[in-house]
Structure 1
Amino acid sequence: MSSGTTELAWFTSSYSGTQGDDCVEVAVAEQGVLVRDSKDVSRPAFAVGRASWGPFVRFAAER
């Protein structure tokens, strides 16, 4: 995936708290979904392939 993530439309997780803690943002790209820390957007995002997104979310929800 492209390393330039500024042109993507980022969305805050619906599970993110209103206190500004433990927030993640996601952006849908052609090849998959990018995930980043909304408190520090200067850090690189990580990518999850489209086919792996559902299993990734289910795994994360169990934690």
Structure 2
Amino acid sequence: MRSSDTPTTRTGVFRKSSYSQSEAACVEVADLDNGTAIRDTKHRDLGTLFFGPDEWQAFIDSTKEV
């Protein structure tokens, strides 16, 4: 995300995969008006990473099975 972009929360709610169940060792994702935010569930105090829509889509595409 460019430094001039200010992240704004669409849902205001971080979520984690249902596959994680009660595990705390995962990442959480939040939808933003201008991208996506992720953070480490176990280390929320270390901050949040923000990705623009194109960056997030490239990540999603790279994780899909071929």
If the length of structure 1 is used for normalisation, what is the TM-score? 0.66
Percent of pairs with identical residues: 31
Q: Give the length in aligned residue pairs.
A: 59
Task: Identify the residue that residue 10 of structure 1 maps to in structure 2.
Answer: 14
Larger Rg: 2
Q: Which runs of 5+ in 1 are unaligned?
A: none
CA contact (8 A) 1:16 1:24 kept: no
Matches within 5 A, 1:1-63: 1-2=6-7, 8-16=12-20, 18-21=22-25, 23-60=26-63
Q: Which runs of 5+ in 2 are unaligned?
A: 1-5
Deviating beyond 6 angstroms after TM superposition, the runs of 4 or more aligned structure 1 residues are: none
Q: Which has the higher strand share?
A: 1
Q: Which has the higher helix share?
A: 2
Q: Which of structures 1 and 2 has the larger relative contact order (alpha carbons within 8 angstroms, sep 6+)?
A: 2
If the length of structure 2 is used for normalisation, what is the TM-score? 0.64
